[in-house]
Amino acid sequence: MFLPKQTDAEKAARTRAIQDALKHASAVPLRVAELCTQVLELARPIAEKGNKNAASDGGVGALMAEAGLRGAAFNVSINLGAINDETFVRELRERVKKLLEDAEQRKNEILRIVESRM
Protein backbone atom coordinates (compact mmCIF):
# COMPACT_ATOMS: atom_id res chain seq x y z
CA MET A 1 0.00 0.00 0.00
CA PHE A 2 1.40 3.34 -1.04
CA LEU A 3 0.91 6.20 1.36
CA PRO A 4 1.82 9.63 0.02
CA LYS A 5 4.06 11.84 2.12
CA GLN A 6 4.15 15.16 0.34
CA THR A 7 2.11 17.34 2.70
CA ASP A 8 2.18 17.52 6.47
CA ALA A 9 -1.31 15.99 6.58
CA GLU A 10 -0.20 13.10 4.36
CA LYS A 11 2.89 12.56 6.49
CA ALA A 12 0.79 12.50 9.66
CA ALA A 13 -1.72 10.06 8.11
CA ARG A 14 1.15 7.85 6.94
CA THR A 15 2.75 7.86 10.39
CA ARG A 16 -0.60 6.95 12.02
CA ALA A 17 -1.13 4.11 9.56
CA ILE A 18 2.36 2.73 10.18
CA GLN A 19 1.93 2.99 13.95
CA ASP A 20 -1.44 1.23 13.78
CA ALA A 21 0.08 -1.53 11.64
CA LEU A 22 2.95 -1.98 14.11
CA LYS A 23 0.49 -2.25 17.00
CA HIS A 24 -1.45 -4.91 15.12
CA ALA A 25 1.80 -6.68 14.25
CA SER A 26 2.55 -6.80 18.00
CA ALA A 27 -0.92 -7.97 19.02
CA VAL A 28 -0.82 -11.11 16.87
CA PRO A 29 2.34 -12.66 18.39
CA LEU A 30 1.18 -11.54 21.83
CA ARG A 31 -1.92 -13.70 21.31
CA VAL A 32 0.32 -16.58 20.21
CA ALA A 33 2.37 -16.16 23.40
CA GLU A 34 -0.82 -16.25 25.48
CA LEU A 35 -1.96 -19.42 23.72
CA CYS A 36 1.42 -21.02 24.37
CA THR A 37 0.80 -20.59 28.11
CA GLN A 38 -2.37 -22.63 27.67
CA VAL A 39 -0.41 -25.35 25.89
CA LEU A 40 2.10 -25.27 28.72
CA GLU A 41 -0.68 -25.95 31.21
CA LEU A 42 -1.88 -28.90 29.11
CA ALA A 43 1.54 -30.49 29.52
CA ARG A 44 1.24 -30.63 33.33
CA PRO A 45 -1.41 -33.38 33.62
CA ILE A 46 0.49 -35.49 31.10
CA ALA A 47 3.61 -35.19 33.24
CA GLU A 48 1.75 -35.69 36.53
CA LYS A 49 -0.90 -38.28 35.82
CA GLY A 50 -0.21 -39.71 32.41
CA ASN A 51 1.34 -43.07 31.74
CA LYS A 52 4.71 -43.09 33.49
CA ASN A 53 6.39 -44.13 30.24
CA ALA A 54 4.94 -41.06 28.53
CA ALA A 55 5.79 -38.55 31.26
CA SER A 56 8.68 -37.31 29.14
CA ASP A 57 6.13 -36.28 26.50
CA GLY A 58 4.72 -33.83 29.03
CA GLY A 59 8.21 -32.42 29.52
CA VAL A 60 8.81 -32.10 25.81
CA GLY A 61 5.43 -30.40 25.43
CA ALA A 62 6.36 -27.93 28.16
CA LEU A 63 9.69 -27.17 26.50
CA MET A 64 8.06 -26.67 23.11
CA ALA A 65 5.32 -24.45 24.53
CA GLU A 66 7.91 -22.29 26.27
CA ALA A 67 9.98 -22.08 23.08
CA GLY A 68 6.90 -20.97 21.14
CA LEU A 69 6.13 -18.37 23.77
CA ARG A 70 9.70 -17.04 23.70
CA GLY A 71 9.66 -16.85 19.91
CA ALA A 72 6.37 -14.96 19.96
CA ALA A 73 7.78 -12.65 22.64
CA PHE A 74 10.72 -11.85 20.35
CA ASN A 75 8.27 -10.88 17.61
CA VAL A 76 6.34 -8.63 19.98
CA SER A 77 9.53 -6.97 21.20
CA ILE A 78 10.94 -6.31 17.74
CA ASN A 79 7.77 -4.41 16.80
CA LEU A 80 7.63 -2.48 20.06
CA GLY A 81 10.97 -0.88 19.28
CA ALA A 82 9.35 1.09 16.46
CA ILE A 83 6.13 2.10 18.24
CA ASN A 84 5.89 5.66 19.52
CA ASP A 85 3.00 5.13 21.96
CA GLU A 86 4.92 4.80 25.22
CA THR A 87 1.90 3.61 27.21
CA PHE A 88 1.14 0.87 24.70
CA VAL A 89 4.79 -0.20 24.63
CA ARG A 90 5.09 -0.26 28.42
CA GLU A 91 1.88 -2.28 28.82
CA LEU A 92 2.88 -4.88 26.24
CA ARG A 93 6.41 -5.17 27.62
CA GLU A 94 4.95 -5.80 31.08
CA ARG A 95 2.52 -8.41 29.73
CA VAL A 96 5.28 -10.20 27.83
CA LYS A 97 7.59 -10.10 30.85
CA LYS A 98 4.88 -11.64 33.05
CA LEU A 99 4.09 -14.33 30.47
CA LEU A 100 7.78 -15.25 30.24
CA GLU A 101 8.27 -15.33 34.00
CA ASP A 102 5.18 -17.46 34.55
CA ALA A 103 6.14 -19.81 31.71
CA GLU A 104 9.64 -20.30 33.11
CA GLN A 105 8.22 -21.23 36.51
CA ARG A 106 5.57 -23.57 35.08
CA LYS A 107 8.05 -25.24 32.74
CA ASN A 108 10.49 -25.84 35.58
CA GLU A 109 7.74 -27.34 37.74
CA ILE A 110 6.70 -29.67 34.93
CA LEU A 111 10.29 -30.73 34.27
CA ARG A 112 10.76 -31.53 37.97
CA ILE A 113 7.63 -33.67 37.85
CA VAL A 114 8.90 -35.48 34.76
CA GLU A 115 12.30 -36.09 36.29
CA SER A 116 10.74 -37.44 39.48
CA ARG A 117 8.74 -39.97 37.46
CA MET A 118 11.67 -41.36 35.48
pLDDT given for residue 31 in this prediction? 97
Residue 3 has pLDDT above 90, yes or no: no
Domain residue ranges in the chain:
8-117
DSSP alpha helix (H) spans, the chain: 8-49, 55-80, 86-117
Q: What is the mean pLDDT of residues 104-113?
A: 96
pLDDT tens for 65-76 read 999 999 999 999
pLDDT tens for 52-91 read 888 899 999 999 999 999 999 999 999 999 999 999 999 9
pLDDT given for residue 62 in this prediction? 96
- Which CATH number is associated with domain 8-117? 1.20.120.680
Contact 68, 62 (CB under 8 A): no
Q: What is the mean pLDDT of residues 6-24?
A: 85
Contact 19, 83 (CB under 8 A): yes
Contact 83, 54 (CB under 8 A): no
Q: Is the pTM of this model over 0.75?
A: yes
Q: What does the alpha-carbon distance between residue 18 and residue 5 come to, in Å, rounded to a whole number?
A: 12
pLDDT given for residue 9 in this prediction? 79
Q: What does the alpha-carbon distance between residue 33 and residue 91 come to, in Å, rounded to a whole number?
A: 15
Q: Quick one: DSSP state of residue 50?
A: S
pLDDT given for residue 1 in this prediction? 61
Q: What is the largest CA-CA distance in the chain?
A: 68
Averaged confidence pLDDT in the chain: 92
